[in-house]
């Protein structure tokens, strides 16, 4: 797996993964987490339709240093398979859910992907390992600015971060091959459906801001018709709108 970092921009490539992990204090914790995610994939295969992770996605999860995306005092818990607080009443998602949502949108190496809800930047980093370009929107300015700074520091050159209302999408960058929504609206946002390319995939948790939501996967066919299927019960922070 080649990380899209500054060396790639210069026409070079720097392999990471196993060699990097060997020098990584968190390597064993990351390996255990990937094993746990695989177990969760098997346990939920009856409803998700995915029994195991694509090896590309497993490699991406192994490459991204999740401990850099949580507050410093929580770094020791970064590879637990659970959400963690990142401030401003927001969380970094459970790794299994990040893995599952990434899996369900079938990211391809030439894809252009929109993420709604940058948060810590972790999901954007995972996607950036797999696709050509990621556009990510965060409504909470301090979170968005912090994520942009960290992603730049880690060398990601194929991620653009915007501060704004993710419900409205990123019209001037559309259409997108995939859209990942990491906060819960009460319905599938029409602007996002409109910005999805033919044969595109949109994953979002839909439901009440105070209860359990349902992860829904929308696919747009070659003629632009949208078909949605329900995947799994989840719990996300609500999608915040500008007032």
Please tell me what DSSP assigns to residue 207.
S
The confidence score (pLDDT) of residue 209 equals: 74
- Global pTM reads 0.89
Tell whether 136 is covered by a domain: yes
Please state the domain count of the chain.
1
pLDDT tens readout for residues 4-14: 443 333 333 33
- The whole-chain average pLDDT of the chain stands at 90
The confidence score (pLDDT) of residue 3 equals: 44
Strand ranges inside the chain, DSSP E: 84-87, 90-92, 112-116, 133-138, 159-163, 176-181, 196-206, 213-220, 226-234
Q: What is the CATH number of the domain that holds 39?
A: 3.40.50.150
Query: Which of 93, 120, 208, 230 is the catalytic position?
Result: 93
The confidence score (pLDDT) of residue 196 equals: 98
Q: Is 120 designated active site? A: no
The confidence score (pLDDT) of residue 17 equals: 39
Q: What's the domain range around 80?
A: 6-234
> What span, in angstroms and rounded, lies between the C-alpha atoms of 111 and 121?
19
Tell whether 239 is covered by a domain: no
**What is the DSSP code string of 37-82?**
HHHHHHHHHHHHS--S--HHHHHHHHHS-GGGGS-GGGGGGTTSSS
Q: Return the higher-pLDDT residue of 126 and 9.
A: 126
The confidence score (pLDDT) of residue 23 equals: 47
The confidence score (pLDDT) of residue 163 equals: 98
């Amino acid at each position: 797996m080649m990380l899209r970092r500054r060396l790639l921009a210069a026409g070079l490539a720097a392999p990471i993964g196993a060699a990097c992990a060997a020098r990584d204090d968190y390597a064993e914790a990351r390996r255990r987490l990937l094993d746990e995610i695989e177990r969760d994939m098997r346990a939920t295969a009856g409803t998700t339709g995915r029994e195991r992770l694509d090896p590309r996605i497993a490699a991406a999860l192994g490459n991204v240093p999740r401990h850099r995306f949580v507050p410093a005092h929580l770094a020791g818990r970064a590879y637990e398979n659970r959400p963690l607080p990142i401030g401003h009443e927001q969380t970094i998602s459970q790794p299994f859910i990040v893995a599952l949502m990434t899996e369900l949108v079938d990211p391809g190496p030439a894809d252009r992907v929109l993420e709604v809800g940058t948060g810590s930047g972790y999901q954007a980093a995972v996607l950036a390992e797999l696709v050509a370009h990621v556009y990510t929107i965060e409504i909470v300015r301090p979170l968005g600015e912090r994520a942009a700074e960290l992603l730049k520091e880690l060398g990601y050159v194929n991620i653009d971060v915007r501060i704004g209302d993710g419900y409205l999408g990123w019209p001037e960058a559309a259409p997108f091959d995939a859209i990942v929504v990491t906060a819960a609206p009460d319905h599938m946002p029409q602007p996002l459906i409109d910005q999805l390319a033919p044969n595109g995939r949109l994953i979002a948790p839909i439901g009440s801001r105070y209860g359990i939501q349902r992860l829904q996967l929308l696919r747009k066919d070659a003629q632009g018709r949208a078909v949605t299927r329900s995947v799994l019960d989840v719990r996300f922070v609500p999608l915040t709108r500008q007032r």
